[in-house]
Structure 1
Amino acid sequence: MSEKLQDKFGKKMPWVMGNQVRIPRIKYPTYREGSLSLPSPGRSMMLLGTFIFLFWLLMGGIYILIKEPSAMGGNASGAIMWLYPSTSDAFVIESIVAAVLIFIGGSGFFLLYNATKHSFNYNYAIKLLILGMVLAGTSFGILQYMMAVKTGKIIVS
């Protein structure tokens, strides 16, 4: 519509609508039946909420809610203990440490995945590959050590 007006009246009134002037078009909103958009948080906030929920699940949040934890990290005499001697129970601090180690291992696998995306940048891909393998292997080793101590295969004084 605006181009037609410019073509129609531009030759008769060049001082009003010259070649440099462009009449903007107005976009009228279209009515859509039944569409309601509510404000929602950004993707980064939803991702952060998802990671916090996953951390809570890995930490044993449901177990802590259902069963009252025996203690935060000590025995009856008051000595500090990091690992509960049974595999069916856990201290809260033990659950938090295990969840942190699982997240570190997961970030190692994420770095391994990203190393495949940067295959043309060889030096960067090798750095990501080594760092991912170190993170995943270290967290797996520490978790296995924790389980060996809990089952009594390794005695720590």
Structure 2
Amino acid sequence: AAKAPVGAREIPLARARFAAIQGRNDDVVALLANVDDPGARWLEANALARAFRHPAGRAAAERLVQGAPDDRRALALLARMRGLTGDHAGALAAADRLLAIDPQHDGGLYQRYLALRALKRPAGQVADAEDVWLRHRRHDELDRALRDGYRRVRPGDRAMDTPVGPD
């Protein structure tokens, strides 16, 4: 097989990463249309999700997980996309698969809670899933959310610049 010219894969990937940083999700998808690379599949699936193109995002996430069945980010995205397309049983399956790999994964715990709630499972089971998710939320994420909220209310105030929580 003929070798692709140097940059045939790297240049579109770099451009797609830059477009993703800028929030140009449709450009990300267009730039990666002919790139076969695990990183390209992740960028494409994530861009489609961020553009609220849920059915296409789900299909891309399904392909992503086929190529990387134990990838935590891929499984979290798949669970989210399945839930957003109404496949709550599929979302629960993806979340459970993720939690088998990483029992404290915030995205997996959250998607599991959402799926159980959407499936109208017993209230106790839903409440337990919510409690587990809330208990395992990462302190840095909570800290960032607190500081970001404070900055929105008090722009320019530097009081929240020092992280809080356990070291």
TM-score range, shorter chain: under 0.3
Q: Which has the higher helix share?
A: 2
Larger radius of gyration: 1
TM-score normalised over the length of structure 1: 0.25
Structure with bigger RCO (C-alpha 8 Å, 6+ apart): 1
